[in-house]
């Protein structure tokens, strides 16, 4: 295990730890960022599957793929860490939330969404979307490190992860757009800095 592997692993651990710390701090003044457009988006419970796949993909699948390239692994970890720090600041400055609809279905996907995701993941720290920002980093890392064709099914799945944030009403459109901008900007700036 190289120094770059160690640094990459430490960056990922710090990113996860700081998010978990902030995610359990209550907010006195939440800002509802929902718009009429967001409220018109239907809940599609089956999207709970790509939504929940985010953690194993980001912290198990991607590191396993990147492990063979120590530089790519370290860049990925650093990108996730820096992006998470940016998100943490924005979570404190703009404590975003959203209004969720009532769900009454009893099918497995609806039950999973209502009883697991919505109960465990409160609608706080929504702006920007963590799921989206870090998924964008994963997509860019795979494409720029290994070429856009090699891992395209995983990249398509990560796009579904981004879409799922809207269809399970964990985020609103503004969260998604800002997540894309944050993830892409940090990743590309760090890659340029490493090359320079």
Cβ-contact 180, 149 below 8 angstroms: no
Q: How sure is the predictor about 25, in pLDDT bands with cuts at 50, 70 and 90?
A: low
Taking residue 115's Cβ as centre, other Cβ atoms within 10 Å add up to 11
What are 107's two structure tokens? 């099918």
- Over residues 118-162, the pLDDT tens digits come to 998 888 889 999 999 999 999 999 998 888 888 999 999 999 999
As to burial, measured by CB atoms within 10 angstroms (0-12 exposed, 13-18 middle, 19+ buried), residue 144 is middle
Rounded CA separation 28/18 (Å): 20
What are 166's two structure tokens? 């809207």
Q: How sure is the predictor about 82, in pLDDT bands with cuts at 50, 70 and 90?
A: very high
Q: Which residues contact 132 (CB under 8 A, 6 or more apart)?
A: 161, 162, 165, 171, 175, 176, 179, 180, 183
In 53-174, where do the E strands start and end? 96-97
pLDDT of residue 61: 93
The pLDDT mean for the chain works out to 90
What percentage of the chain reaches a pLDDT higher than 70? 96
Q: What is the mean pLDDT of residues 81-89?
A: 94
Each domain of the chain, given as residue ranges in start order, spans 3-16+44-195
């Amino acid at each position: 295990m190289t120094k770059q592997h160690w640094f990459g692993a430490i960056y990922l651990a710090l990113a996860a730890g700081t998010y978990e710390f902030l995610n359990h701090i209550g907010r006195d003044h939440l800002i509802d960022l929902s718009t009429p457009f967001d409220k018109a988006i239907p809940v599609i419970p089956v999207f709970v599957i790509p939504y929940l796949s985010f953690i194993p993909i980001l912290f198990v699948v991607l590191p396993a793929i990147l492990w063979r390239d120590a530089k790519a692994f370290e860049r990925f970890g650093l990108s996730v860490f820096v992006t998470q720090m940016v998100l943490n600041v924005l979570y404190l400055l703009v404590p975003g939330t959203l209004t969720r609809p009532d769900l009454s279905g009893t099918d497995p996907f609806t039950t999973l969404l209502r009883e697991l995701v919505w109960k465990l993941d409160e609608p706080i720290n929504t702006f920007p979307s963590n799921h989206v920002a870090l998924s964008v980093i994963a997509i860019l890392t795979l494409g720029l490190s290994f070429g856009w064709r090699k891992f395209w099914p995983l990249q398509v799945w990560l796009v579904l992860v981004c879409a799922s944030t809207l269809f399970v009403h964990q985020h609103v459109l503004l969260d998604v757009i800002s997540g894309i901008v944050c993830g892409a900007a940090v990743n590309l700036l760090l890659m340029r800095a490493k090359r320079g």
